[in-house]
Structure 1
């Protein structure tokens, strides 16, 4: 990645982060050739996409480690999902799993996926089923675990 005239410490951090996530993407792609379950592999990619963008979002918005300059560079180089980061700043959409779970109409997103429906109001038939395209069970604010969506493979530990 070419991030010209940016703080070298930030560049080192972001290059390391992107490298690690790229290794994970490659691992998924290699496993896709060995496994027949394409749907699960797509779900893995959606989740990894969320994790990468959320990690960078938190470095910028919550921990304030990254500068606006490097964020603009990441966006202009299409290394992060600008639309997803923008949606996370809206009330009620803080942990949305993917822009594919929404339809953007003007400035306001509209929920289009089952994962955007809170678990408390779902029917028994759809209660713990993931979105068939994304693999997210729930990314409705309040349903998440530790500020993250509930994915098809999220480990849920019940307290006694």
Structure 2
């Protein structure tokens, strides 16, 4: 089966050639290498013996986070891309604009995913366990988010 290339809906702005290879690497990781063999159904090709049901998509969340963080760092931290290119990446779905909006707020700089701050997704209507600071947890306790596999993103 041939690889399906994602084509932008309009002409890419200047600077796209510089970041496209890195974004293609992230897409390749999702489609082939770390998630599922040949890009077919992710849960069928991923080895699942001994894993919980929710653990199958953790690699996808991780790569999605890395891809959004890459674009966030290029625009806000290093100022290496223009606003036009940043908006293009958001519009074309290369980065999650809601996650990036949270990263700009104090206390959410290292947020792993949006599901961790939604109270409706937890048993008791609170934030995810990975949002609790490690200093507040008992000594030696290993914290792992049920939604994305994060081991503590509150700092």
Q: Which runs of 5+ in 2 are unaligned?
A: 1-6, 120-124
Aligned to 1:15: 20
CA distance in 2, matches of 1:73, 1:92: 27
Q: Which one has a larger percent strand, Structure 1 or Structure 2?
A: 1
Q: Is the 8 A contact 1:75 1:82 kept in 2?
A: yes
Counting matched residue pairs gives 133
Alignment of 1:1-160 (within 5 A): 1-2=7-8, 4=11, 6-7=13-14, 10-26=15-31, 27=33, 28-30=35-37, 32=43, 33-36=45-48, 37=51, 39-103=54-118, 112-123=127-138, 127-140=141-154, 143=155
Q: Rate the CA distance shift 1:34–1:44 in 2: closer, same or farther, 3 A.
A: closer
Deviation at 1:13, TM superposition (A): 1.8
Q: RMSD across aligned C-alpha pairs, in angstroms?
A: 2.3
Q: Is the 8 A contact 2:130 2:150 kept in 1?
A: yes
Deviation at 1:111, TM superposition (A): 6.3
Q: If the length of structure 2 is used for normalisation, what is the TM-score?
A: 0.76
Q: Which runs of 5+ in 1 are unaligned?
A: 105-109, 144-160
CA distance in 1, matches of 2:144, 2:18: 33
1:45-80 Cα offsets, whole Å, 9 max, x none, are 111111111111101111111110011111122221
